[in-house]
Structure 1
Amino acid sequence: MKLSKLLFRSGDHRIDILAKKDDITYAIQCKCYSKDINSSAVQQAHAGKSIYKRNIAVVLTNRGFTPQAIEEANVLGVKLWGRNKLLSLINGAN
């Protein structure tokens, strides 16, 4: 995956990374919390996808997701990348 842009400013519509792989564009929201991620993160990622005109919205975290977040992601088509996916991405980069 090619990193297009890092967005670490307030007012960025909660999107932290804009990336592209195989002509598919991603709006990625990163969350590093001690608890599972809730549905508000999913809604923010979905909104950011539209604002930045990306193909796919992603919530990436070191944790898991609440049942409500999983349900919301299924409805909105947001990808949820939890701890296992994060480890896979890290290991794939090495």
Structure 2
Amino acid sequence: MAFPVYWWIIGAVFVMALYLLGHYLCLLEDVSQVGLYEIDRMTKKDFQHFCGQLLKRVGYQIQRPQKAKQWITIILEKEGQRTAVMVRQYAGAVGIRPVEKAAEGAARNHCARAVVLTNREFTVEARQLAGQLGVELWDRDKLADLLIVARSQGR
């Protein structure tokens, strides 16, 4: 008894989906295989997870804030200094609101520094406000630099 053609098609699509999902999940863990193209296509949650793995790979200790509602995604620790990081994935330029929230979140989490990490650029207003508040802005170029460092360190 032969299977109808549509069952073969459904099976093939299912196998392909499993393969792609497995490949994608491996990319999230192996940061050396990911580029900006893949980053731009990640979900926001995957992007946050990926950034945590990337920062761990380049030498930071990673903690999650105790209260997730405080806008801070990750708390970095390196050489005794705590940094509050707001990880945000955007399709366009990042404005002032994340800068304000990163500064607030750093204070609430007792961090010496605040960073907004994104896959895009920042508006002029966001850059000006960051300068006033002492918030570091890690944009697409900084993200690319972090990827290069992670690749140079090998698996």
TM-score w.r.t. length of structure 2: 0.56
Q: How high is the sequence identity, in percent, across the aligned residues? A: 32
- The answer on whether the counterparts of 1:3 and 1:17 sit within 8 Å (CA) in structure 2 is no
- The answer on whether the counterparts of 1:32 and 1:63 sit within 8 Å (CA) in structure 2 is yes
Note the 1:46-61 alignment, pairs <5 A. Answer: 46-61=103-118
Taking the aligned partners of 2:77 and 2:135, their CA distance within structure 1 comes to 16
* Unpaired segments ≥5 residues, structure 2: 1-58
Residue 10 of structure 1: CA displacement? 4.9
TM-score w.r.t. length of structure 1: 0.90
Question: Which ranges of 4 or more aligned residues in structure 1 deviate by more than 4 Å?
Answer: none
Q: Quote the RMSD (CA, aligned, Å).
A: 1.4
Note the 1:1-94 alignment, pairs <5 A. Answer: 1-7=59-65, 10-11=68-69, 13-94=70-151
- For residues 17-75 of structure 1, what are the alpha-carbon distances to aligned partners after superposition, in whole Å with 9 as ceiling and x for unaligned? 10111222110001111011100000000000000000100000000001110010000
Structure possessing the higher relative contact order (Cα contacts under 8 Å, 6 or more residues apart): 1
Query: Which structure has greater strand proportion?
Result: 1
